[in-house]
């Protein structure tokens, strides 16, 4: 889910002076400078600090404004201002490009390309002035519109993303950007079509770069001695955010290596044999698992090993090479049980952690000595959070370089070698690797120090709102992958990770902020990779992401988004929040965290929260939750037909989820099931809030396994947060992105506990929940012991084994699901609140979430020979072994808070 992210500072230093204007052509007119913005008589709007006009192609400027006469003024060195006190409303020495209003506005094709601009007025560039367009784009732009009497109606800056794509993207689309090596000689190239000049600073020299007029790419080729040298580009460009021409010393957005703290790019050839660890070229991967069968463990590199006393390389990539560590032993156990992928939270270069260990702060308190419900721990962690070694990493700086803080040495190429060693270590443990990628935003924009893209082509790579400001709906500076060269960057970056680092899958953060076409372009590019040519089989690389629908792009406002409903049938999965909320109860942002759900005791084991409603309301909501879970068990299929809990014949798409259809998938594999992930409270912490406080630790463990089973035993892929099988807690922290190792570390040794009771969670995102959290954290009975932790993990592994050994849990088509899967008691008098009975081929699965033993009588199976599945009958959970089946009546008896799987003999 969307939560607060680590936000970069986006405040820009104010520039007091503007560069003096210079006459550019015969039409330029020298006038005195005036104020930046002014309101002239008659309700006019003259403000060059905004950019409300949009130049969408070489022939068309659009603007939501009245008026018929219009023009664009441009000044190479800036200096255009407004005062609105006389007829010359935009002052400064400039060229003019004449515009004529187009009757009827945009064409049908333009409306289709820019649906959010469909009602704007369109102005056609005078054919006599079209030869000036490319030059105009390298300076300050001011659009002016007038009434028929010549009165200025409005003046504003101009957005230029569309016209840049029209002029340059066709040629630039095939350009090799960044460092490219041929015969050991490097060539460096950067796309900067609006730059007035670009120089390459490398090895202590400033080298002029050559501009290609067709593509807008600047390049320089050099000798072999450039290899390994640090470099930056010096880009001279008009910067709208500070309204002057600047020369930015900036790293390469296509960098493949960096110096420490991302200060400079390095001219590195990723094909250099010296960067390949032993065995890299002949690395044998575990057998590829189709997306519909994928079982994924979501894992943060630092969480994995930083608290593991058996790890040789705590907090580093190399921790995954240590076969004897407790963490790697646990991952191998999961792999043997059926886990197929490890999903790594961001491991690209991000902007909020000092990469050198000597620069990293650590909390200066005796954290273990404080009480389990104390404010001390979080206050101490917060004091060093900005400079410690911890962040989730959802704040991209360079998309195609490994993060340096996880390497033994962030200076140079150790991060490249050690990232590859990490992939090797996971592959040798029987696990393929998924990388969490965050192309939807950057850590900063404008002229901020950590802004890269926006300091090379200002106003292009970031998505702009109607007034020209950068959209921040993703909690950071949004990017615009709908623009051709940002879309190209996404595709090129993913392909590099796949080819050069042998990554087996990609999870797209906030994928709904990408165009569907962009994500499909990624899929197409990966599919083209072959073992013979590229060393990887791209068709076996899996893709999934967050298909949430919100922000300025919501409801396909700007393009067809890569959202849940739109990605159905593409083979690219989206996270499904439907069953997740039904299993846990409520939603992730409830004011009262005690709102219960299927696995947390709604109606069957109520807590004291008034937010749950009366008994009748609880029962009705629980039965509806059961319908949501049933849809989830089908793989969220939209067309799946069944009887809902009210007795109605419905399809998955007819079941309501907060006003949206619960079923949206076209085939198994379109929806990814999960009960918890890094966002929001861990599953254990959510259940801690929601289960009655008196619930014993053993029952909490059973509720956890049952909740996880609703995802594990669903059709389609499943994701689980690492450590959830060990009842992982973050001490009730709902947003631990910057909460440090103390709250985030995974504890592989059950004797170290599960993380519960490590103090009140950080105030920034949790203080409003402290009144609920404090009594829970103080209750030592809620902290599980080794019996509960180890038992839950073993029971979860049994479910994984069962799931992966029974092909019927991985049906390939929606037709097979419809014929093989049913809910025989749904909508009948025998449907029990808190219990779901699913028939799947020769299996019957009973999810009993109630605190009591339950009997489910399926009369249609009377006389059929069923018995508890051998995996559970021989498994680790003693309680499930007491489940039984009465052949004479077709009755399945299942203990409290237990999922039992029966197989026909």
pLDDT in tens, 516-540: 999 999 999 999 999 999 999 999 9
pLDDT in tens, 740-779: 999 999 999 999 999 999 999 999 999 999 999 999 999 9
Active site residue 546: yes
Active-site choice (77, 436, 454, 509): 509
Does pLDDT of 33 surpass 60? no
pLDDT band for 415, please (50, 70, 90 cuts): very high
Q: How confident is the model at residue 88 (pLDDT cuts 50, 70, 90)?
A: low
Q: Tell me: the pLDDT tens digits for 448-502?
A: 999 999 999 999 999 999 999 999 999 999 999 999 999 999 999 999 999 999 9
Secondary element (H or E) of residue 211: strand 210-211
Query: Could you confirm whether 244 is annotated as catalytic?
Result: no
Tell me what pLDDT residue 573 has.
Answer: 98
Q: Which of 867, 755, 797, 18 is nearest to 330 (CA)?
A: 797
Whole-angstrom CA distances from 702 to 408, 648, 771, 877 are: 40, 32, 26, 10
**DSSP summary character for residue 58:** T
pLDDT in the model for residue 644? 97
Non-local CB neighbours of 807 within 8 Å, separated by 6+ positions: none
> What three-state secondary structure class fits 759?
coil
Q: Are 20 and 68 in contact (CB under 8 A)?
A: no
pLDDT in tens, 418-442: 999 999 999 999 999 999 999 999 9
Mean per-residue pLDDT for 357-386?
97
Is-contact 353 257, C-beta < 8 A?
no
Percent of the chain with pLDDT over 90: 92
Does residue 445 contact residue 477 with C-beta atoms inside 8 Å?
yes
The more confidently predicted of residues 85 and 260 is 260
**Residue 761, CA distances (Å) to 112, 372, 392, 535, 777 in order:** 48, 10, 16, 45, 10
Q: 560 vs 305, 451, 564, CA distance in Å?
A: 41, 28, 11
Please say whether the dihedral angle defined by the alpha carbons of residues 616, 622, 623 and 627, taken in this order, is positive or negative: positive
Q: What pLDDT is attached to residue 93?
A: 86
What pLDDT, on a 0 to 100 scale, did the predictor assign at position 44? Answer: 65
pLDDT at 31 over 70: no
Taking the CA atoms of residue 412, residue 414, residue 417 and residue 422 in that order, the dihedral angle to the nearest 10 degrees is: -140
The enclosing H or E element of 690 equals: helix 683-690
pLDDT at residue number 21: 27
Average pLDDT, the chain: 94
pLDDT in tens, 298-315: 999 999 999 999 999 999
User: Could you write out the DSSP letters of every residue in 408-461?
Assistant: S--SSSHHHHHHHHHHHHHHHTT-EEEEEE-TTEES--TT-TT--HHHHSTTTS
| 255 has pLDDT over 60 | yes
Instruction: List the Cα angle 452/458/464 in 5-degree steps.
Output: 105
Q: Greatest CA span in the chain, whole angstroms? A: 100
- Contact of 218 with 177, CB cutoff 8 Å: no
Residue 25 scores a pLDDT above 50: no
Q: Please determine, for residue 128, whether its predicted confidence score (pLDDT) is greater than 60.
A: yes
Taking the C-alpha atoms of 169, 171, 173 and 174 in order, what is their torsion angle to the nearest 10 degrees? 180
Count of other CB atoms within 10 angstroms of residue 57: 19
Is a pLDDT exceeding 90 seen at residue 11? no
pLDDT in tens, 620-679: 999 999 999 999 999 999 999 999 999 999 999 999 999 999 999 999 999 999 999 999
Which of 42-46, 299-303, 671-675, 894-898 has the least mean pLDDT? Answer: 42-46
Other Cβ atoms less than 10 A from the Cβ of 805: the count is 12
User: Over the stretch 711-733, which tens digit does the pLDDT of each residue have?
Assistant: 999 999 999 999 999 999 999 99
Contact, 845 vs 898, CB < 8 A?
Answer: no
Active-site annotation holder among 546, 581, 679, 806? 546
Answer whether 62's CB lies under 8 Å from 71's CB: no
Its pTM stands at 0.94
Collapsing DSSP to helix, strand or coil, 92 comes out as: coil
What pLDDT score does 83 carry? Answer: 65
Task: Report the C-alpha gap between 45 and 204 in whole angstroms.
Answer: 48
Residue among 716, 714, 707 nearest 580 (CA): 707
807-829 pLDDT tens trace: 999 999 999 999 999 999 999 99
Q: Of the ranges 32-41, 81-90, 874-883, which is most confident?
A: 874-883
Query: Is the model's pLDDT at 41 over the cut of 60?
Result: no
Task: Give the CA angle between residues 62, 65, 68 to the nearest 5°.
Answer: 85
pLDDT band with cut points at 50, 70 and 90 for residue 17: very low
- Which residues make Cβ contacts (< 8 Å) with residue 368, sequence separation at least 6? none
What confidence tier does 38 reach under pLDDT thresholds 50, 70, 90? Answer: very low
């Amino acid at each position: 889910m969307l939560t607060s992210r680590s936000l970069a500072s986006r405040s820009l230093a104010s520039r007091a002076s503007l560069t003096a204007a210079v006459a550019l052509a015969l039409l330029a007119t020298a006038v005195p400078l005036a104020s930046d913005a002014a309101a002239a008589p008659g309700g006019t709007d003259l403000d060059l600090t905004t950019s409300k006009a949009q130049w969408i192609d070489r022939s068309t400027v659009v603007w939501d404004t009245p008026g018929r006469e219009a023009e664009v003024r441009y000044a190479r060195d800036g200096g255009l201002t407004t005062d609105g006190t006389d007829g010359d409303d935009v002052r400064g020495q400039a060229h003019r490009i004449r515009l004529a209003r187009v009757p009827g506005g945009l064409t049908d094709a333009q409306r289709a390309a820019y649906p959010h601009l469909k009602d704007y007025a369109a102005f056609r560039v005078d054919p006599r002035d079209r030869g000036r367009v490319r030059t105009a784009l390298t300076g300050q732009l001011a659009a002016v519109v007038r009434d028929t009497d010549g009165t200025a109606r409005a003046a504003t800056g101009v957005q230029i993303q569309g016209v840049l794509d029209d002029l340059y993207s066709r040629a630039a689309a095939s350009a090799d950007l960044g460092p490219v090596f041929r015969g050991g000689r490097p060539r460096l190239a950067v796309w900067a079509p609006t730059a007035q000049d670009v120089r390459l600073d490398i090895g202590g020299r400033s080298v002029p770069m050559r501009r290609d007029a067709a593509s807008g790419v600047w390049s320089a080729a050099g000798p072999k001695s450039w290899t390994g040298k640090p470099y930056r580009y010096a880009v001279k460009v008009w910067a709208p955010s500070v309204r002057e021409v600047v020369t930015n010393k900036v790293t390469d957005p296509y960098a493949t290596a960096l110096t420490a703290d991302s200060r400079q790019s390095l001219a590195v050839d990723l094909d250099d044999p010296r960067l390949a660890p032993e065995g890299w070229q002949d690395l044998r991967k575990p057998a590829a698992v189709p997306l519909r069968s994928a079982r994924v463990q979501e894992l943060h590199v630092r969480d994995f090993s930083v608290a593991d006393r058996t790890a040789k390389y705590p907090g580093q990539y190399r921790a995954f090479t240590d076969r004897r560590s407790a963490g790697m032993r646990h991952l191998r156990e999961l792999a043997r049980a059926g886990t197929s992928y490890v999903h790594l939270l961001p491991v690209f270069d991000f902007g909020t952690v000092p990469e050198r260990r000597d620069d990293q702060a650590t909390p200066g308190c005796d954290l273990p000595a404080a009480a389990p419900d104390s404010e001390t721990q979080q206050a101490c962690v917060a004091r060093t959070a900005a400079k410690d070694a911890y962040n989730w990493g959802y704040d991209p700086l360079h998309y195609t370089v490994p993060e340096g803080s996880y390497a033994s040495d962030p200076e140079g190429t150790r991060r490249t070698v050690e990232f590859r060693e990490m992939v090797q270590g996971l592959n040798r443990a029987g696990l393929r690797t998924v990388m969490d990628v965050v192309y939807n935003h950057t850590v900063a924009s404008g002229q901020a120090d950590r802004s890269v893209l926006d300091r090379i082509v200002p106003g292009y790579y970031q998505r702009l709102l109607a007034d020209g400001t950068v959209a921040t709906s993703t909690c950071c500076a949004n990017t615009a992958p709908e623009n051709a060269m940002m879309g190209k960057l996404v595709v090129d970056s993913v392909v590099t990770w796949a080819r050069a680092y042998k990554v087996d899958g990609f999870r797209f953060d906030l994928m709904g902020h990408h165009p569907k076409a962009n994500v499909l372009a990624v899929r197409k590019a990966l599919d083209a990779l072959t073992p013979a040519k590229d060393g990887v089989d791209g068709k076996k690389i899996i893709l999934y992401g967050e298909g949430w629908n919100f922000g300025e792009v919501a409801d396909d406002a700007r393009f067809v988004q890569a959202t849940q409903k739109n990605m159905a049938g593409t083979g690219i999965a989206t996270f499904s929040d439907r069953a997740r909320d039904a299993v846990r109860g409520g939603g992730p942002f409830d004011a009262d965290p005690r709102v219960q759900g299927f696995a947390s005791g709604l109606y069957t084991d109520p807590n004291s929260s008034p937010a749950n409603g009366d008994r009748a309301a609880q029962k009705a909501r629980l039965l509806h939750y059961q319908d949501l879970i049933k849809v989830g068990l089908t793989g969220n299929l939209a067309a799946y037909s069944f009887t809902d809990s009210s007795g109605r014949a419905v399809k998955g798409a007819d079941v309501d989820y907060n006003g949206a259809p619960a079923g949206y998938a076209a085939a198994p594999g379109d929806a990814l099931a999960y009960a918890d992930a890094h966002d929001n409270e861990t599953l254990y912490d959510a259940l801690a809030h929601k289960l009655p406080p008196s619930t014993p630790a053993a029952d909490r463990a059973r509720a956890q396994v049952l909740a996880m089973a609703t995802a594990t035993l669903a059709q389609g892929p499943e994701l689980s947060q690492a450590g959830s099988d060990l009842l992982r807690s973050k001490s009730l922290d709902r947003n631990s992105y910057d909460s440090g190792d103390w709250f985030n570390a995974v504890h592989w040794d059950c004797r170290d506990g599960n993380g519960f009771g490590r103090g009140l969670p950080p105030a920034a995102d949790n203080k409003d929940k402290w009144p609920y959290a404090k009594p829970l954290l103080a209750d030592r009975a809620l902290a599980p012991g080794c019996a509960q932790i180890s038992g839950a993990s073993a029971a979860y592994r049994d479910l994984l084994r069962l799931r992966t050994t029974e092909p019927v849990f991985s049906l390939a088509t929606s037709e097979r699901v419809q014929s093989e899967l049913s809910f025989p008691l749904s909508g009948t008098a025998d449907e029990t609140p808190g219990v779901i009975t699913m028939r799947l081929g020769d299996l019957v699965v009973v999810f009993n979430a109630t605190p009591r033993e339950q009997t489910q009588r399926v009369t249609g199976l009377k006389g059929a020979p069923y018995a508890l599945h051998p995996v559970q009958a021989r498994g680790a959970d003693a309680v499930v072994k007491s489940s039984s089946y009465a052949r004479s009546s077709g009755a399945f008896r299942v203990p409290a808070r237990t999922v039992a799987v029966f197989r026909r003999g």
